[in-house]
Amino acid sequence: MATETLTLGKALNNGLRKALENDQKVVIMGEDVGKLGGVFRITDGLQKDFGDQRVIDTPLAESGIIGTAVGLAIRGFRPVCEIQFDGFVYPAYDQIVSQVAKMHYRSQGKVRIPMVIRIPYGGGIGAVEHHSESPEAYFAHTAGLKVVTCANPQDAYVMIQQAVASDDPVVFLEPKRRYWEKGQVDLDAPLSAAYPLHASRVVRAGTDATVLAYGPMVRTCLDAATAAAEDGRELEVIDLRSLSPLDLGSAYESVRRTGRCVVVHEAPGNLGLGAEVAARITEECFYSLESPVLRVTGYDTPYPAARVEEEYLPDLDRVLDAVDRTFGW
């Protein structure tokens, strides 16, 4: 088994390389993805090794990138589009929700759109305006799109390959502040490995309360669980991984045991993913709950200036405070 210690960013790079090697129809396109290797260097070296016909530097025009990719997908290619930053995706929003999401349904199943839209998302890197958004709810709400997010290098490596191999359009959200975090990666892991693309995962077992998170907040919640254990409270942490479709089977099982649930994400709370998760947990586990399902989220404001973003982002203390409140009812 070829196992290496890689950053999450390098694991994505390796996964994309494997996808390009395995299927000649895979093409990568986006702003600065070629010679520069992307602003986060996720595509570093790929144009050099696979050529500028498969790793394509595009004009600065997100709607053009996605629109071109739709045409390529219809013709049998598997385009992987990089949106340079989360806040830059909105010029392409019409293409994504009107064409990418609906073409299969509109054609009564005759046309598939096997494409991946990679979006670095979330805050925590001290960036300027439009560089720290969490737009997942927009896409998870749209029928016809699949939305996933990785939280560690192993998942990054496998999930990006699974997304490229999917015959459905996948919005692939990458937690940018976790790009440099390292972990063990099995480079021989099959795409049908332990967890399919749309499955959640228990990342820390516990007995006292269930904490649900995804993307950048998984590490925060694991740190909170470590801190809680010092006080004798064992938190079960579940990485949702897939935001559409949602896999809540392991969450239901966990909440029926613990009786308490906290949902954590960076995006604003109003109509966020946490609201949907909390509603489903309440519907399915009502008679097991010892307290209401609580949410820890970003605030319902535009993302703030970098100097105060730590006041905006959910942190260990806010997660532990919510857990404490579930025991106070």
What's the rounded Cα separation, in Å, for the pair 121 and 177?
8
- Environment class of 136 (CB within 10 Å of its CB; exposed 0-12, middle 13-18, buried 19+): buried
Nearest to 198 by CA among 236, 151, 149: 149
Q: For residue 58, what is the DSSP state?
A: P
* C-beta of residue 78 within 8 angstroms of C-beta of residue 115: yes
Task: Quote the CA–CA distance of 81 and 291 in Å, as a whole number.
Answer: 43
Give Cβ neighbours of residue 286 (< 8 Å, ≥ 6 apart): none
Categorise residue 271: left if φ over 0, alpha if ψ from -120 to 50, beta otherwise. left
The residues, any chain, with a CB within 8 Å of residue 209's CB and separated by 6 or more, are 233, 235, 236, 258, 259, 260, 261, 262, 323, 326, 327
| Unique residue bearing structure tokens 């006080």 | 231
Q: Supply the DSSP string of 148-162, one letter for each residue.
A: EE--SHHHHHHHHHH
Parallel, antiparallel or unpaired: strands 235-239 and 201-204: antiparallel
**Sign of the CA dihedral running 16, 18, 23, 24:** positive
8 Å CB contact between 274 and 297: yes
* Catalytic annotation, residues: 131
Record the tokens describing residue 314, joined without a space: 């959910």
Joined together, the tokens standing for residue 231 give 């006080």
How many Cβ atoms are within 10 Å of 253's Cβ, its own excluded? Answer: 15
